[in-house]
Amino acid sequence: CNQQPDTDATAVIYADGGAVHEKGGPAAAAISVFKLRGTIVERTNFGRFYTGATNNCVEAAALLAALRFAKHHVTENGKITIVTDSQMVYRHAVGAHRFKDAKLIQVGRQITEILDPSLALRLSICHMNRTLGNYADEVCQQVRNRGGDVGDLPELFTELPHVDAQRHRPQRVITPVVEPQLPEPLDITSIEDFAKLRTFKARSTVPPNAELLWANLVRRAAQAVVTATDTIQRDRNIIELLLLPMRYLPANVKTTRIVTHLKNGTPFNTDHRKQSQEVRERVTDRKMHRLKEQIHRLGRDGKIKTANKLIRNQATQDDIPHEEKVEMLKKKFVEKDAEDESEEVFDIRQVPIFTGYE
């Protein structure tokens, strides 16, 4: 087998296969035979319609049909050239590759078996560029359009595993449903107003199903900063851009609520006066407050051992050293007065366990 066709070939066979869908569905395998009879070239077409097959399967079936025609319908002393535009099928036929797909193994075995020495010595298998136009391609289209076979030699084409076309789900496209207008700006007149908003905790990540909605909102807020007409308006827009996470991505809020607010274009309520008493109170011990939040986050993440370790460390962090404890205990002891010491022996009286009245 080689890529150079014989110039004195008595028959040239073009093989091709095609399916409506590459992975399955209606398909066709076809060959177009050009035979030299004297000085006249005769063309004969053969094709078979498959209700369900992959593209690679019908390509291999077409090559097998070409080999069967060459062995049984071409004179034994004539040279034959077979042309295919499938690189995979060509590499299998010349021994450079073997089919690995389970649906192709049976066809590949038949191709190998039919290529006996008597046929291989007078056969040339060639690969052509698909863009140059394969004569068998138009036969494939004809077979698919008709939904039936072409030619009077149906035995040339082998049976193939039936493969239906895969049903592809339509690609889900999330359309931006946030209102074109940005939310009403917050009433921030002083640095204290801005500091009060820092009590609202925001998420560090965006829910996956809300990434597009969040991206559109940030993009519009950034455009408002760039297109501001004066510095005052630009500074206000920058503040609104920085406050977007607190207004749309609050912590401790369900993801479904966040997605709903992004879709509707309505921010969460950030009025500190409506917050709970616990949130509004100024925590005197900032260190303990931060420890409480850290333990709370670890608990929600399931890191119970780490949270317990933090609690143990905190319990002993400000503890008094052992040496100081000993000194403090010594100071609490009352020294014995020497005048209270006496060598007088107290009388010891035997007392029965049970009295006569019991």
Residues with Cβ < 8 Å from 169, sequence gap 6 or more? none
Q: What is the largest CA-CA distance in the chain?
A: 152
Judged by DSSP in three states, 246 sits in helix
Please enumerate, as own/partner, the contacts of 221-224 that have beta carbons within 8 Å and a separation of 24 or more.
221/182, 224/182
> Are the beta carbons of 59 and 27 closer than 8 angstroms?
no
Q: pTM for this structure? A: 0.47
Of the candidates 241, 243, 238, 246, which has an alpha carbon nearest to the alpha carbon of residue 268? Answer: 246
- Fold category of 11-155 in CATH: Nucleotidyltransferase; domain 5 (3.30.420)
> Are the beta carbons of 53 and 158 closer than 8 angstroms?
no
Q: Tell me the Ramachandran region of residue 95: left when phi exceeds 0, alpha when psi lies from -120 to 50, beta otherwise.
A: left
Task: Give the domain ranges of the chain.
Answer: 11-155, 191-281
Per-position pLDDT tens, the chain of length 358: 445 556 678 899 999 999 888 888 899 999 999 998 888 889 999 999 999 999 999 999 999 999 999 998 888 778 899 999 999 999 998 888 888 888 899 999 999 999 888 888 888 999 998 888 899 999 999 999 888 899 888 899 999 988 887 765 555 555 544 444 577 777 777 777 777 776 677 888 888 878 888 888 888 889 888 888 888 888 888 888 888 888 888 887 888 888 888 888 788 876 655 544 454 454 445 667 777 888 888 888 888 888 888 887 776 666 777 788 788 888 877 676 666 666 666 666 776 777 666 5
Q: Could you list the beta-strand ranges (E) of 51-133.
A: 80-84, 123-127
